[in-house]
A and B are shown apart, each in its own frame.
Chain A
């Protein structure tokens, strides 16, 4: 699977946004049935999102649906409607403990069986947006093989912590580190929270550079204009790219020569370093193609 640098939130009750969402260049779209939709429109939004999943051609854009939380009356109905349409994943909000994921996993498994789908075909993105959820990140991440990503919900988390979200967002530093560490330790994607000021592209870019530095693999966008800036943040430095090329070339040569040991610039490199180098080159190529 190619890197998913950006996830564009799309309100599930907005046909205008839904019909165009796959054209804006985001690596993935997140069709939102939760916070973006007023209580009175939950059913209509669910119907609309389901129709769009049936009709629209999303091409190579990864499609995820954020359902309402398990503590709401809409949770089960959302999963029953969405899972048979096989989005790539569903995002489960407010995961505070492994049980939240296990509950969703079991229900999704039953739905898949009822519809003759392979169990586990629809993945879970677990959204950590409470202090307890962040503390339990590792356990949540390994609570089900369906879990593909840990995602940080910064807005609700700061509210839960009783702190303000600042432009520098140092208050999220520990939480981000915790989520990135847990995700990386389990081989999962680590997806960062939104940047709320849609006019401040420089602020978004700087924050995105910081979270890339912490190990996040992607970041959410709330407006199409943010996608480009998120992608820019993932473009590696030229020096990194040159080193990555040397590593990958050396690995190819070693493979061709049947050698198990890869050496670059006189130093041994192991498999994770090679994988990271390959990822660096992919990110560079994606940026090149997009003219960034």
Chain B
């Protein structure tokens, strides 16, 4: 395999068997202005009053025309409780279907069995935002013949619309579905909130199967995916583990280190001057990232600031801020906890948006491109502000690209929050194990031991100092931390074996993940 260095010096193969030619990353905005053809799914005439409902998964698969070598997609809105993906793959295996390309919006802890489907040849290739647990280890060990392709959320929407992911059959968990195929995630015993990823797949898949455990005999008035996109309704006993689907509201951390980081990140946002009426804002779902929302909320309430929109994966905390009038609108592509569901039902300004609307860099204007501030977590960063949210310090795949690089590129201010070390391993490296978000789109790194501002944003560093923040050169902070932790040994990678290609949001490859022993 021949490699070249891309624009940030990461090795990228020129061509990968089973994947094809690779475009090396050339910069965050290389494809702006490019006109790209959009694929569209076929139309198909069905007789009037056709009964779409089936109770047999194998029958649904047969009717879909799914064959070996095709591409199947799923969404991960059912979080760690999802049983749809694995039940469908089991049925495919029983039917002798093999060599599938699996293209879920992401893989979660509920999908550990996927490693078995890989070993048994049911799955040959994977496109996903993230991989964890056993699946991550199996891929990292090189058990998948074709490298997994990691997409950001916006990158996946683009890939589907461009046709680099061509979904043959989408099996979409539908918490409440009527007999005509209209379905929503806001109702039903497995309610999960937004179905933003499902909406994307439903529009572009050749065949769509709504999988529900709550069939409504009456037509639904609340619809996320309309009937005209749905070929079949598959009724099953359960979509998964309701405890893990309907997770409780994400709570603000009590970890003092995370709170310290969050407070400093908030003060950095203040220093940027963006925290004014009309501000738009996104935070992550946990730890220091979510905790920033607490300080933002207090500040906005105290100062009478009203933001324009919040977006992203949405937590109950952000929904509460909408209720309090701190934002005019909340754009929700994915609901992180069950408390969000009620908000979306009640509040017209809590808007369910699809994956493309959220972050596709090549559509005619996605939400993240209008963000003022985003606060993002990370596994590690390097001295060039490149961010890794995908591989652990051992080189094993155990994270997700998510909307990280999309929001960093689209926002005016992107702040990455992380502790300076975890479990004795420093988080600031000379070179991260894997780049997901390029440093040129990251404005600042906030740790408990100091704030590092990207030299590209010189004025921000000065404003942060005036705010009383402890601003440090990133190399100095790295050395300070290494005095405590030592310098970790480099991970031993097998450079002859590519196990994952990390796509940037525009479809170019920003980094390559190699095989490691694990």
A residues bordering B, Cβ < 8 Å?
19-20, 23-25, 55-57, 223-225, 228, 288-291
- Tell me the smallest distance from the CB of A18 to a CB of chain B, in Å: 11
Known: A20-B448, A56-B484. 5 other contacts (CB 8 A): A20-B256, A23-B449, A224-B256, A290-B468, A291-B270
**How far, in whole Å, are A118 and B387 apart by their CA atoms in the complex?**
49
Cα separation A280 to B515 with both chains bound (whole Å):
62
For the complex, give the distance between the alpha carbons of A90 and B468 in Å: 30
- In the complex, A52 Cα to B263 Cα: how many Å? 26
Interface pair A225/B467, CB less than 8 Å apart: no
Contact of B267 among A24, A56, A57, A291 (CB under 8 A): A291
9 closest Cβ pairs, A-B complex: A289-B468, A224-B256, A23-B448, A20-B257, A24-B260, A23-B449, A291-B267, A290-B468, A23-B260
A contact residues around B483 at 8 Å (CB)? 57
Q: Please give me the residue from chain A that is nearest to B257 by CB atom.
A: A20
CB distance from A8 to the nearest CB of B (A): 10
The answer for the CA separation of A20 and B267 in the assembled complex, in Å, is: 20
Closest CB in chain A relative to B42 CB, distance in Å: 58
**What residues of B have a CB within 8 angstroms of the CB of A288 in the complex?**
468
Q: Which residues of A contact B480 (CB under 8 A)?
A: 57
Q: Does B259 contact A (CB under 8 A)?
A: yes
Closest to B466 in A: A289
B contacts, CB < 8 Å to A: 254, 256-257, 259-260, 263, 267, 270, 448-449, 467-468, 480, 483-484
Partner of B256, one of A57, A225, A289: A225
**A291–B257 CB distance below 8 A:** no
List B contacts of A228 (CB < 8 A). Answer: 263
Q: How far is the CA of A223 from the CA of B257 in the complex (A)?
A: 11
Which of the residues B254, B260, B484 comes within 8 Å of A19, measured between beta carbons? B484
Taken together as a complex, chains A and B put the C-alpha atoms of A286 and B429 apart, in Å, by 33
Instruction: Show 15 A/B contacts (Cβ-Cβ < 8 Å), sorted by A.
Output: A19-B484, A20-B256, A20-B257, A20-B448, A23-B257, A23-B449, A24-B256, A24-B448, A223-B256, A224-B260, A225-B256, A289-B468, A290-B468, A291-B267, A291-B468
Chain B residues with CB under 8 Å of A57's CB are 480, 483
* Most central of A23, A24, A56, A57 by chain B CB within 10 Å: A23
Q: Which B residues are in CB contact (< 8 Å) with A223?
A: 256
CA distance in complex: A291, B470 (Å) = 13
Q: Hey, which chain A residues are within 8 Å of B270, CB to CB?
A: 291
- How far does the Cβ of A80 sit from chain B's closest Cβ, in whole Å? 26
A223 and B254 alpha carbons, distance in the complex (Å): 10
User: In the complex the two chains form, what is the Cα distance from A23 to B468 in whole Å?
Assistant: 14
Give the nearest-CB partner of A287 in chain B: B468
> A19–B421 Cα gap in the complex (Å)?
11
Give the number of A-B contacts (CB < 8 Å): 32
A57 vs B256: C-alpha distance when bound (angstroms) = 19
Tell me, in angstroms, the Cα distance from A235 to B483 when the chains sit together.
36
Say whether B259 contacts A225, CB under 8 Å.
Answer: yes
Rounded to whole angstroms, the CA-CA distance of A25 and B267 in the bound complex is 14
Residue of B nearest to A8 (CB): B256
A291→B484 contact, CB < 8 A: no
User: A70–B483 Cα gap in the complex (Å)?
Assistant: 36
Say whether B449 contacts A224, CB under 8 Å. Answer: no
Q: Choose among B256, B259, B449, B467 the residue that contacts A291 (Cβ–Cβ < 8 A).
A: B467
Residue of A nearest to B480 (CB): A57
B-side contacts of A291, CB under 8 Å: 267, 270, 467-468
In the docked arrangement, what's the CA distance between A91 and B270, Å? 39
Write the chain A residue with the least CB distance to B467.
A291
Cα-based distance from A55 to B468 in the complex (angstroms): 26
Instruction: Using CB atoms, name the residue of chain B closest to A286.
Output: B468
Residues in A whose Cβ lies below 8 Å from that of B257: 20, 23
Q: In chain B, what residue has the closest Cβ to A223?
A: B256
Contacts of B448 in A (CB 8 A): 20, 23-24
The answer to whether B260 and A55 have CB atoms under 8 Å apart is: no
Nearest-CB residue, chain A, relative to B266 = A291
Residue of B nearest to A23 (CB): B448
Q: Shortest CB–CB separation between residue B168 and chain A, in angstroms?
A: 50
Taking the closest CB of chain B, its distance from the CB of A258, in whole angstroms, is: 37
Complex CA gap A228/B257 in Å reads: 14
A224 to B263 CA separation, bound complex (whole angstroms): 12
Residues of A within 8 A of B254 (CB): 225
Measured CA separation A85–B234 after assembly (Å): 71
How far is A19 from B257 in the complex, measured between Cα atoms in Å?
11
A225 to B294, CA, bound (A): 13
Residue of A nearest to B450 (CB): A23
- Would you call B267 and A55 a contact (CB within 8 A)? no
Q: Nearest chain-B residue to A55 (Cβ)?
A: B484
* Nearest chain B residue, comparing its CB with the CB of A291: B267
Please give the distance in Å from B446's CB to the nearest CB on chain A: 12
Taking the nearest CB of chain B, how far is it from the CB of A17, in angstroms? 8
List, in ascending order, chain A residues with CB within 8 A of B267's CB: 291
How many Å lie between the Cα of A30 and that of B92 in the bound state? Answer: 63
| Closest chain A residue to B270, Cβ basis | A291
Q: Which chain B residue lies CB-closest to A289? A: B468
Docked complex Cα distance between A20 and B261 (Å): 12
A246 to B484, CA, bound (A): 47
Chain B contacts of A225 at CB under 8 A?
254, 256, 259
Please give the distance in Å from B477's CB to the nearest CB on chain A: 12
B198 to chain A, nearest CB (A): 40
For the complex, what is the distance from the CA of A224 to the CA of B291, rounded to whole Å?
15
CB distance from B458 to the nearest CB of A (A): 21
Which residue, of B260, B448, B484, has the highest number of chain A Cβ atoms within 10 A?
B260
- Please, how many angstroms separate the alpha-carbon atoms of A19 and B449 in the complex? 11
Cα separation A193 to B409 with both chains bound (whole Å): 49
Q: Smallest distance from the beta carbon of A56 to chain B beta carbons, Å?
A: 8
Contacts of B259 in A (CB 8 A): 224-225
Taken together as a complex, chains A and B put the C-alpha atoms of A289 and B468 apart, in Å, by: 5
- Minimum CB–CB distance for B423 against chain A, Å: 10
| Chain A: minimal CB distance from B416 (Å) | 18
How far apart are the CA atoms of A57 and B257 in the complex, in Å?
17
Nearest CB in chain A: distance from B287 CB, A: 15
Q: How far is the CB of B354 from chain A (nearest CB, A)?
A: 39
Assembly CA distance A91 to B259 (angstroms): 28
**Shortest CB distance B313–A (Å):** 26
Distance (Å) between the CB of A236 and the closest chain B CB? 18
Tell me, in angstroms, the Cα distance from A201 to B137 when the chains sit together: 45
Interface centre among B256, B270, B448, B468 (most CB of A within 10 A): B256
Rounded to whole Å, the gap between the CB of B207 and the closest CB of chain A is 52
* CA gap between A56 and B254 in the complex, in Å: 24
